A and B are shown apart, each in its own frame.
Chain A
Amino acid sequence: MKIVPLVWLSAVLCLAGSLVSPLRAAEDGGDQAALNERIQDLKKAVLDLNRDLFLLEEDLLFPANTQFSVFLSVDAGKLFQLDSVKLKIDDKLVAAHLYTERESAALYRGGVQRLYVGNLASGKHEIVAFFTGKGPNDRNYKRATKVVIDKTEDPQFIELKILDDATKEQPEFVAKVWE
Chain B
Amino acid sequence: MSLNPLRGWLPALLAGLLLLPAPGRAEEPGVVQDLPYGLALYHFFQDRYFSAITDLMAARQRQRLPRQQEEADLLLGSLYLAYGLEKPSGELFERILEQQVAPAVADRVWFNLARLRYEQGQYDQALKALERIGEGLPPEREAERRNLLANIHLRRKAYDKAIAVLADFAGEGAWKAYARFNLGVALVKAGREEEGARQLEAVGRMEATTPELKALRDQANIALGFAWLRAERPKAAAAAFARVRLHGPLSNKALLGMGWARARQERLQESLVPWLELKVRSPLDPAVQESLLAIPYTIERLEKPKLALVHYTEASVRYEQQLAELKRLREAVARGELLQALRPGNLDDESGDSIYRGRLPAALSVPYLYRLLASNDFRSALRNHQDLQYLRYVLGRWEHYLPVFTLMLKERRAAYEKKLPAVTSDLLLEQLEDFRRQRAALAAEVKRVEREHDLRALADEDEAEWLDVLADVRRRLERLGSGADLEEEQAKYRLFNGILIWRIESDFVPRLWRLKRGLQRLDQALAETEKQYAALQRAWKIAPRTFEGFDDRIRGQYRRIKTLQGQVDAALKAQQQAVQTLALAEIDRQQARLKSYLVRARFAQARLYDKLMKMQPPPADLIAPPDEQPGAPRAADRPPAAEAAPAAGEARP
Contact = CB atoms under 8 A, between A and B. Distances in A.
A6 B294 contact: yes
A169 B41 CA distance: 28
A57 interface: yes
Interface stretch (A42-50, A88-96, A127-135, A143-151): A42-50
B46 A3 contact: no
A166 interface: no
B62 A110 contact: no
Chain B at the A interface: SS class: helix
A45 B84 CA distance: 13
Given A35-B571, A36-B384, A43-B84, A55 B62 contact: yes
A75 to B, nearest CB: 9
B405 interface: yes
A42 to B, nearest CB: 6
B391 A43 contact: yes
Interface in A29-69: 31-32, 35-36, 38-40, 42-60, 63, 65
A7 interface: yes
Interface string A108-128: 011111100000001000000
Interface in B545-567: 545-546, 550, 553-554, 557, 560-561, 564, 567
Contact of B45 (A9, A32, A60, A111): A111
Contacts of A5: 260, 263
Interface in B35-60: 35, 37-39, 41-46, 50, 53-54, 57-58
Given A46-B391, A60-B408, A39 B571 contact: yes
B342 interface: no
Contacts of A106: 41-43, 45-46
Chain A at the B interface: SS class: helix
A23 interface: no
A42 B388 contact: yes
A137 interface: no
Interface stretch (B131-139, B393-401, B456-464): B393-401
A14 interface: yes
Interface residues of A, number: 56
Nearest to B553: A56
A40 B571 CA distance: 11
B88 interface: yes
Contact of B87 (A40, A42, A45, A113): A40
Contacts of A60: 405, 408-409, 546, 550
Most A CB within 10 A of own CB, among B41, B294, B408: B41
Nearest to A100: B46
A38 B592 CA distance: 33
Nearest to B567: A42
Contacts of A63: 545-546
A76 to B, nearest CB: 12
A9 B256 CA distance: 13
Contacts of A51: 54, 57-58, 61
Nearest to B16: A11
A163 interface: no
A73 B46 contact: no
B535 A122 contact: yes
A43 B42 contact: no
A10 interface: yes
A103 interface: yes
Given A14-B589, A110-B32, A7 B54 contact: no
A110 B39 CA distance: 9
Contacts of A32: 381, 578
B41 A110 contact: yes
A73 B57 CA distance: 21
B407 to A, nearest CB: 12
Contacts of B588: 17
B629 interface: no
Contacts of B401: 53, 57
A111 B41 contact: yes
B222 interface: no
A10 B593 contact: yes
A102 B46 contact: yes
A58 B54 CA distance: 13
Most A CB within 10 A of own CB, among B391, B395, B588: B391
B449 interface: no
Nearest to B586: A17
A46 B394 contact: yes
A6 B290 contact: yes
Most A CB within 10 A of own CB, among B37, B38, B381, B561: B38
B88 A44 contact: yes
B568 A35 contact: no
B589 A40 contact: no
Interface string A159-179: 100000000000000000010
A98 interface: no
A125 to B, nearest CB: 16
A121 to B, nearest CB: 10
B171 interface: no
B45 A10 contact: no
Nearest to B286: A10
Contacts of B312: none
Contacts of B32: 73, 110, 112
A17 B589 contact: yes
A47 B57 contact: yes
A9 to B, nearest CB: 7
A35 B39 contact: no
B69 interface: no
A109 B45 contact: yes
A55 B58 contact: yes
A82 B429 CA distance: 54
A68 to B, nearest CB: 13
Contacts of A102: 46
Contact of A35 (B86, B574, B596): B574
Q: What are the 5 closest A-B residue pairs judged by CB atoms, nearest first?
A: A112-B38, A111-B42, A106-B45, A51-B57, A111-B41
Interface of B: 29, 31-32, 35, 37-39, 41-46, 50, 53-54, 57-58, 61-62, 83-88, 229, 256-257, 260, 263, 286-287, 290, 293-294, 297, 381, 384, 387-388, 391, 394-395, 398, 401, 405, 408-409, 535, 542, 545-546, 550, 553-554, 557, 560-561, 564, 567-568, 571, 574-575, 578, 581, 588-589, 592-593, 596-597, 600
28 contacts: A5-B263, A6-B293, A9-B290, A13-B593, A32-B381, A32-B578, A35-B384, A35-B571, A35-B578, A38-B571, A43-B83, A44-B88, A46-B391, A47-B85, A48-B57, A49-B557, A49-B560, A51-B61, A53-B398, A53-B401, A54-B54, A55-B61, A60-B546, A63-B545, A73-B32, A110-B38, A112-B35, A122-B535
Given A10-B286, A106-B42, A112-B41, 10 more contacts: A6-B600, A32-B381, A42-B571, A43-B83, A43-B391, A47-B85, A50-B54, A50-B398, A71-B39, A110-B38
